[in-house]
Amino acid sequence: MELVYLEDAYVKELETIITSIDPELSAVQFEKSIIYPGGGGQAKDHAVIEIGGRTFDLKDCKKDDRGIWYVLDAIDFNLQDVAVIRLDWERRYNLMRTHTAMHILCGVVWNEYQKKVTGGNMEPLKARMDFEFEGLNDELVREIEHRVNEEIATNHAVHIKQIRGAENIDELLRTKTNLLPPGLTEIRLVEIENLDMQPDGGTHVVGTAEVGEITITGFENKGRINKRIRLEVRNPGQ
């Protein structure tokens, strides 16, 4: 299955073909898909699928050794039927903005303080990131917020790259532990020009200005060294 979002996260609607049906899962696979199934801290997309004049709701996404399956609210169609996928675009775009904001935060913290990420999660326009950051305080948090917003306003271009092999991948990891599946022969990288580059499988905006602005809404201790930073993404001037 071709995962279109890996190369172009801005495709909102896609015509495709049903290639597999699993009645037990009430799920299907498509020839091509724009639905991000969730993973890496980014929530799955919401979508509806039109098949033969009927509209089916996407209920869930599941993965097994056969690939990604899209769970629908009913199975009332056949293999090779044409399907039109329509994303909840507002949700997807806000997740793209939020995901890129997290990478900008990660880049600022790494470049200026050399602190690695120990965890993270996001929902549309809200996120948290955990860092090994002993000594984090209010003054540093406000400085980090200021620097992140400066980098957003610079409007760095965001690129998707593919590299073969993982020999030097540790140099690009911003996480405390290597979360990449073993045996990868090709690794997808998200590069924010002049700021950050790291392995990632999610969706992003193409320029940092699309993020808008961020506010760090709080930070808290998650142990002696680990600190959690919470942020919200908003439109400029909000």
- For residue 223, the model assigns a pLDDT of 80
- For residue 178, the model assigns a pLDDT of 47
- What does the pLDDT average to over 227-235? 96
The strand pairing partners of 58, in sequence order, are 72
Mean pLDDT rounded to a whole number for the chain: 92
Q: How far apart are CA 102 and CA 122, in angstroms?
A: 9
**3-class SS at 216?**
strand
Every domain range in the chain assigned CATH 3.30.980.10? 91-234
Contact (CB, 8 A) for 112 and 148 = no
In tens, the pLDDT along 11-20 reads 999 999 999 9
Contact (CB, 8 A) for 229 and 131 = yes
In tens, the pLDDT along 166-180 reads 555 555 555 544 455
Report whether pLDDT(165) > 80. no
- For residue 236, the model assigns a pLDDT of 76
Strands 27-30 and 67-72: antiparallel
- What does the pLDDT average to over 150-154? 98
Report whether pLDDT(190) > 50. yes
- For residue 176, the model assigns a pLDDT of 44
Phi, psi dihedral angles at 61 (to 5 degrees): -125, 135
Higher pLDDT, 46 or 178: 46
The strand pairing partners of 140, in sequence order, are none
In tens, the pLDDT along 206-222 reads 999 999 999 999 999 98
At the fourth CATH level, which superfamily is domain 91-234? Answer: Threonyl-trna Synthetase; Chain A, domain 2 (3.30.980.10)
Q: How far apart are CA 229 and CA 203, in angstroms?
A: 21
Tell me how far CA of residue 77 lies from CA of 23, 49, 124, in angstroms: 11, 12, 32
Every domain range in the chain assigned CATH 2.40.30.130? 2-87
Q: Residue 182's pLDDT band (boundaries 50, 70, 90)?
A: low
Contact (CB, 8 A) for 74 and 20 = no
DSSP string for 145-208 = HHHHHHHHHHT-BEEEEEEE--TTGGGG--BSS--SPTT-SEEEEEEETTTEEEE--S---SBG
Per-residue tokens: 218: 């709080």
CATH T-level assignment (fold) for domain 2-87: Elongation Factor Tu (Ef-tu); domain 3 (2.40.30)
In tens, the pLDDT along 93-110 reads 999 999 999 999 999 999
